[in-house]
Structure 1
Amino acid sequence: MTATDLPRLTVRSPADLIAAVPYLLGFHPADSVVVVAMRGRRIVFVARADLPDPGTDPRLPARHLGEVLGRQDAESATVLGYGPAERVTPAVDAVRAVLADAGLTVLDALRVTAGRYWSYLCAAPDCCPPEGTPYDQAASQVSAAAVFAGQVALPDRAALTAQVAPVEGDAREALRRAAARAERRLLALLAEAPPADLLGGRTVRAAGVDAVRTALRTHRRGERLTDDEVAWLSLLLTHLPVRDHAWERTDGREEDISLWGDVLRRAEEELIAAPASLLAFAAWRAGQGALAAVALERALATHPDYSLAQLLDDLLRRGVPPSELDGWPAVGDPGVVRRRPRRRRPRRQIG
């Protein structure tokens, strides 16, 4: 589910909207129900859910979509179902009912599959033939405009998940050796901490602040962290004051998304909670809700009780737009968040 602030894509027909949806989501949907919500003539939110399995109640995902869309101050919506009619039709009907109960005008309801679309609201054979209306996404001006604007539509959600998957093979073996060196380095650092530094907290925080600053500078120069830098940073991020220092300095910049995505893929599995959450926060701030979701799925699969991942997962599931929390977070005590008076607004919010 994604809050959107689109590049200027001109949508004049159902085919144009179908061409735009993959760029709004970040991937081509399949076996999905998608709701494109509008305020006036502007798209303000796009939400996607998996089609219910056969034999399950289609009202459950519909209710959730309705709850999320109810927070978006939308006026109207179009519903699109991707897949076979026997699965799409009950899901689309349930979503239409929920949207109508919420007071949203349903502009159209479409089923999309195999290069054709059908409208549930139009039965005129001259514009909505029973065999469906063909469309060519590759030839669409909307697709061309989205690509020109720098938008990417991956083949499917699995391709998006692959962007946060751990590196394997020889690279992983090298990273494991780097992780062992980082652990020895941390033990030596704690052994050298002054007696007044209880449990070495201040020493670790100082090392972590330095590691975060180095990583941010390195990535903003267009350079990649070394294995030892990734191992050292991911180990120090387990210290909450270090994680919070990194969190305060993370926004929706492409450099932030690139940095935390790289650290997440290269960190040892037991250390991924912080970089995964920081990637999710950066992606959410940039409006890339789908990327934020897959990062949080990976974090919570391994660390289900990690509070920052839980917090961000709740924001995504409730469809909270990033613009509602400009200036957030401001972190005082570790893990305690308060609003900060000023923060740069993200350049774009698309997913």
Structure 2
Amino acid sequence: MNSTDVPRLSVRSPGDLIAAVPYLLGFHPADSVVVVAMQGKRVTFAARSDLPDLREPVDSARRMAEPARPVDEPARHLAAVVARQVADRATVLGYGPAARVTPAVDAVRVALADAGIPVLDALRVTDGRYWSYLCDEPECCPPEGTPYDTGSSELTAAAVFAGQVALPDRATLVAQVAPVDGAERAALRRATERAGQRFADLLDSADVLGGRTVRTAGRAAIRVALRRHRKGERLDDDEVAWLSVLLTDLTVRDHAWERTDGRDADIALWTDVLRRAEPEFSAAPGSLLAFAAWRAGHGSLAAVALERVLGRHPDYSLALLLDDLLRRGVPPSHLDGWPAVRLPGVVRRRGRRRRDAH
């Protein structure tokens, strides 16, 4: 599941809402159930989950009357996330074939009702048409579905004007954080070997009590990286390798964390470092990218970055913390004023040098 704060968007029809969803998520959903939370007519939050892979269709009427099943767990989770938001109603949208969408949408409707959130509408969307589960009037909800055209929607134009991006699908988003390969990967591997030797030499000369040499080198590398990316420049292979190795020291990583927010340059920097770092050094830049993306309201980008990190480093604490924030639907506004504010339960390390095992 992924979620995100959203820009101020007003919807006046199901077609408007369908047009808005790809910009709320950052990509066009498929085989998904999406909950769009609203306060009045303003969208305040959107969350998405994959459709459950059901082995057999479930009759809708029976499904609404039966006790919760294991397939309802994602629905309850979505409802719990939405319940934490500023919202007084929600619309549920299912993308895909009726046999899979209907039970998922029904489950989410039940879970939202149990959470005290009225469901304004429930839609199935596929092949340029939508069907409402709550309307059976043929004048407004014909049995063959209602066609829609997102390209002609004023909301689509407004989202594009506001700089919102809707990628073709989630796979395209995943590709944005995929590691580079080929000759570029080979060059970065050699650069990382040089950086590893440089780091070992640094440890030999470091102040054993305070690790000042490592912290000083880390702060210098972070300062250069942030300055370069805020000027629209890019680090070379040796700089990326050196930064990724230095970030294994948690005091260096936390120094970078404190200086990372939701700026476009921060997202660009950590995306670049994540893609180019050797996999064993991907945990810190991937987590920093997830944090920057979350702070900017790009919950889907944060989610795919964390998937990459946790797939390789399942115990990396910062990634687990951020993954928990996303799964609980904590809004980025929770950290307005960063880094002066602190995440609950998080102690920033200072003084003694520590190197992360991941």
Compute the TM-score of the two structures, normalised by the length of structure 2: 0.89
How many angstroms apart in 2 are the aligned matches of 1:103 and 1:117? 26
Q: Which residue of 2 aligns with 1:16?
A: 16
Unaligned 5+ runs, structure 1: 339-351
Conservation of the 8 A alpha-carbon contact between 1:15 and 1:135: yes
Written as runs of structure 1 = structure 2, the 5 A alignment for 1:242-281 is 242-281=252-291
* TM-score where L is the length of structure 1: 0.91
Structure 1 Cα separation of the partners of residues 227 and 193 of structure 2:
25
Distance in 1 separating the partners of 2:291 and 2:204: 34
Quote the Cα distance in structure 2 between the aligned partners of 1:187 and 1:127: 70
Aligned to 1:282: 292
How many correspondences in the alignment? 332
1:347 aligned residue: none
Query: Distance in 2 between the 1:273 and 1:199 partners?
Result: 26
How large is the Cα RMSD of the aligned pairs?
A: 1.7
1:214 to 213, 224, 229: 224
Specify which of 289, 303, 312 is matched with residue 313 of structure 2: 303
Is 1:74 equivalent to 2:87 in the alignment? yes
Question: Is this contact kept in 2: 1:117–1:132, CA < 8 A?
Answer: yes
Distance in 2 between residues matched to 1:267 and 1:199, nearest whole Å: 29
Q: CA deviation at 1:205?
A: 0.9
On the 8 A contact 2:93/2:124 being kept in 1, the answer is: yes
8 Å contact kept, 2:4–2:24: no
The sequence identity of aligned pairs, in percent, is 74
2:3 is matched with which residue?
2
Q: Is the 8 A contact 2:248 2:284 kept in 1?
A: yes
Query: How far 1:89 sits from its partner (Å)?
Result: 0.6
CA distance in 2, matches of 1:277, 1:178: 22
Alignment correspondent of 1:46: 46
Q: CA deviation at 1:284?
A: 0.5
* Structure 1 residue 330, shift from structure 2 partner: 5.6
Q: Which residue of 2 aligns with 1:94?
A: 107
With over 3 angstroms needed to count, the CA separation of the structure-2 counterparts of 1:199 and 1:231, relative to structure 1, is farther
**How far apart are residue 140 of structure 1 and its match?**
2.2
1:166 and 2:216 matched: no
Distance 1:331-1:148 versus aligned 2 partners, 3 A rule: closer
2:194 is the alignment partner of 1:184: no
How far did 1:48 drift? 0.5
Which structure 1 residue ranges, 4+ long, deviate > 6 Å from structure 2?
A: none
| CA pair 331-124 structure 1, distance change in 2 beyond 3 A | closer
Structure-2 separation of matches of 1:66 and 1:11: 21
- Residue 59 of structure 1: how far off its partner (Å): 1.2
2:322 matches 1:312: yes
Q: Give the corresponding residue for 1:131.
A: 144
**Structure 1's 132 and 209: CA in aligned 2 closer, same or farther, altered over 3 A?**
same
2:72 aligns with one of 59, 62, 69: 59
| Alpha-carbon distance in structure 1 between the residues aligned to 2:41 and 2:13 | 13
Matched-pair contact (CA < 8 Å) for 1:330–1:337:
no
Separation of aligned partners in 2, 1:328 and 1:4:
17
